[in-house]
Amino acid sequence: AQKVTQAQTEISVVEKEDVTLDCVYETRDTTYYLFWYKQPPSGELVFLIRRNSFDEQNEISGRYSWNFQKSTSSFNFTITASQVVDSAVYFCALSVNPQGGKLIFGQGTELSVKP
Amino acid sequence: DTEVTQTPKHLVMGMTNKKSLKCEQHMGHRAMYWYKQKAKKPPELMFVYSYEKLSINESVPSRFSPECPNSSLLNLHLHALQPEDSALYLCASSHWTSGGKDTQYFGPGTRLTVL
């Protein structure tokens, strides 16, 4: 069975601080796909990144960066110089289906960035 | 363009009512999804349609009836719901592409309240 654990339920930071959201996954499949989504108070899930298990390269996109480590089954997400607009619930998700199908979500981390 | 639209944004219904949720995408995606999300919880998959055929039904009660008239439209027909069915209902779509390149894009959701 697959499982995603986001141990941090809530995080509160002050604007301009860096913050890392942790994600640990479990699967016996050798090929799998990891995702991060952002859910602002409006409710829509916004896709941030997809990472395939065979691609361990870390990625940076503006103030966002992701650290994928197969050795520790982690796919952590860092926001540099956080802003109030980053306040949202962030979900890490796992899929073992190469062609769509079920996403297994973590419980989510609620990030609050205060001015 | 990653737009998935959902109507209505809010819906209040009684337990004896019949109502429908609508989802539309114009990205040429061949798969569409319904998720249910309770407050402070991650989304839970309900149904998946690929190429207009029901691919996955996550043992959802029959009071929820999905329909996919064409590859751009997805409906969720509601009948005899219970108060515990009150939730945010999210629609998503994806290419249904093989090779681990599939990504689900979500709509803004319909907030359903069952009285």
- Tokens for B63? 């009071």
Residue B96 has what pLDDT? 86
Q: Are B105 and A47 in contact (CB under 8 A)?
A: yes
A8-45 residue pLDDT tens: 999 999 999 999 999 999 999 999 999 999 999 989 99
CA–CA separation, B102 and A72 (whole Å): 25
Of B42, B88, B92, nearest to A91 by CB-CB distance is B42
Q: Closest to B106 (Cβ–Cβ): which among A44, A100, A106? A: A44
More confident residue, B91 or A58: B91
Helix (H) or strand (E) holding A35: strand A33-39
Rounded to an integer, what distance in angstroms lies between the CA atom of residue B71 and that of residue A26?
Answer: 33
Residue B24 has pLDDT above 60, yes or no: yes
Chains A, B: CB contacts under 8 A, how many?
Answer: 68
Model pLDDT, residue B100: 66
Condensed to tens digits (0 to 9), the pLDDT of residues B42-75 reads 999 999 999 999 999 999 999 999 999 999 999 9
Distance CA A18, CA A104 (A): 27
Chain B nearest C-alpha distance from A49 (Å): 9
Mean pLDDT of B26-49: 95
Write out pLDDT tens, residues A41-99: 989 999 999 999 988 888 889 999 999 999 999 999 999 999 999 999 999 999 998 77
pLDDT band (50, 70, 90) for residue B99: low
Give the one of B42, B45, B101 whose C-beta lies nearest to A102's C-beta: B45
Average pLDDT, chain B: 93
Q: How many Cβ atoms sit within 10 Å of the Cβ of residue A57?
A: 7
Which residues in chain B touch residue A52, judged by CB atoms under 8 angstroms apart? 100
